[in-house]
């Protein structure tokens, strides 16, 4: 299989590492070669964070480069805007319709761009969900990333059972049920 390129972009602390681990687990379950590249350390402290996942026949470099992403999973609108140009022609952009102001906006040195989603929709194939609000309805705002993953799952090559099995093996025992529920919310959107 040709190598599939996935990116997860968001704000440090939003759980991009957990998400990439789920995708890594799936690739192994599917019998693919797989490489992931993550960000740890200083950039994790509320900074812009990008994680790369590549799986397929044989994977060399662990990063996805501009113009190569099949799917970008964005946990926040501004981060979707920042990385959208990494998408390939027919790539899919999935956005959590949520806003976290970066420090230049908080202190009034920059403006948070208006109409990000509308503008991106003119160029790219975009799917959106307010996953943070949906997750709050489930009782834990932190599981929003599984909702977003649920949408991404519609554009990837794995069965629902495979997703379930990896979720069960990746998230903390106590949170398996709520994470699966969150995944369902996205999967059925």
Partner 1 sequence: MSELKKVIMLGNEAIARGAYEAGVKVSAAYPGTPSTEISEYLVQYKDALYCEWSPNEKVAAEVAIGASVAGVRSMCCMKHVGFNVAADPAYTVSYMGVNAGMVFVVADDPGLYSSQNEQDTRMVARAAALPVLEPSDSSEAKEYMKMAFELSERFDRPFILRTTTRLAHSQGLVKLYERTEPSDRPYVKDIRKTVMMPVNAKPRHVEIEKRNRELAEAADTLPVNRVEMKSTDIGIITSGIPYQYVKEALPEASVLKLGMVNPLPRKLIQDFASKVRKLYVVEELEPVIEEQVKSWGIPVTGKEIFTIQGEYSANMLRESILGEKLMIKEPEKAPVRPPVLCPGCPHRSVYHVLNKLKLHAAGDIGCYTLGAVAPLNVVDTTICMGASISSLHGMEKAKGKDYVKNWVAVIGDSTFLHTGVNSLMNMMYNKASGTVIILDNSTTGMTGHQDHAATGKTLQGEPTYAIDIPSLCRALGVKHVTEVNAFDIETLEKVVKEETARDEVSVIITKTSCVLLSKGKKPLYAVHEDKCKKCGMCMKPGCPAMTRNGDGTVHIDDTMCTGCGLCADLCKFGVIELVKEEDR
Contact residues: partner 1, CB under 8 A: 11-13, 20, 24-25, 27-28, 33-48, 59-63, 65-67, 78-79, 81-85, 99-113, 119, 132, 136, 141-142
CB of 161 to partner 1, least distance (A): 20
- C-beta of 101: minimal distance to partner 1 in Å? 5
Nearest approach, Cβ of 133 to partner 1 (angstroms)? 10
Nearer to partner 1, 78 or 152 (CB): 78
Nearer to partner 1, 36 or 171 (CB): 36
Whole-number CA gyration radius for the chain: 16
The count of other CB atoms within 10 Å of the CB of residue 4 is 21
Nearer to partner 1, 90 or 188 (CB): 90
48 CB contacts (<8 Å, ≥6 apart)? Answer: 9, 11, 12, 79, 82, 102
Cα torsion 137, 142, 148, 149: sign: negative
CB of 28 vs partner 1, minimal distance in Å: 6
CA dihedral defined by 166, 168, 172, 173, rounded to 10 degrees?
-160
Residue 138 or residue 154: which is nearer to partner 1 going by CB?
138
Phi, psi (deg, nearest 5) at residue 125 = -85, 110
């Amino acid at each position: 299989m040709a190598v599939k390129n996935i990116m997860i972009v968001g704000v440090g602390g939003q759980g991009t590492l957990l998400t990439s681990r789920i995708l890594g687990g799936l690739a192994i379950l599917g019998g693919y070669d797989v490489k992931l590249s993550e960000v740890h350390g200083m950039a994790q402290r509320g900074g812009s964070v990008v994680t790369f996942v590549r799986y397929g026949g044989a994977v060399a470099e662990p990063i996805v480069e501009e113009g190569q992403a099949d799917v970008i999973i964005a946990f926040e609108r501004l981060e979707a805007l920042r990385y959208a140009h990494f998408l390939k022609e027919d790539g899919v952009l999935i956005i959590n319709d949520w806003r976290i102001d970066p420090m230049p906006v908080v202190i009034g040195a920059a403006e948070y761009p208006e109409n990000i989603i509308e503008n991106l929709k003119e160029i790219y194939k975009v799917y959106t969900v307010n996953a943070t609000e949906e997750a709050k309805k489930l009782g834990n705002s932190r599981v929003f990333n599984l909702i977003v993953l649920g949408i991404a799952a519609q554009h990837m090559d794995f069965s629902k059972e495979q997703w379930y099995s990896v979720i069960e093996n990746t998230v903390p025992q106590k949170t398996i049920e709520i994470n699966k529920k969150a995944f369902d919310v996205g999967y059925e959107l």
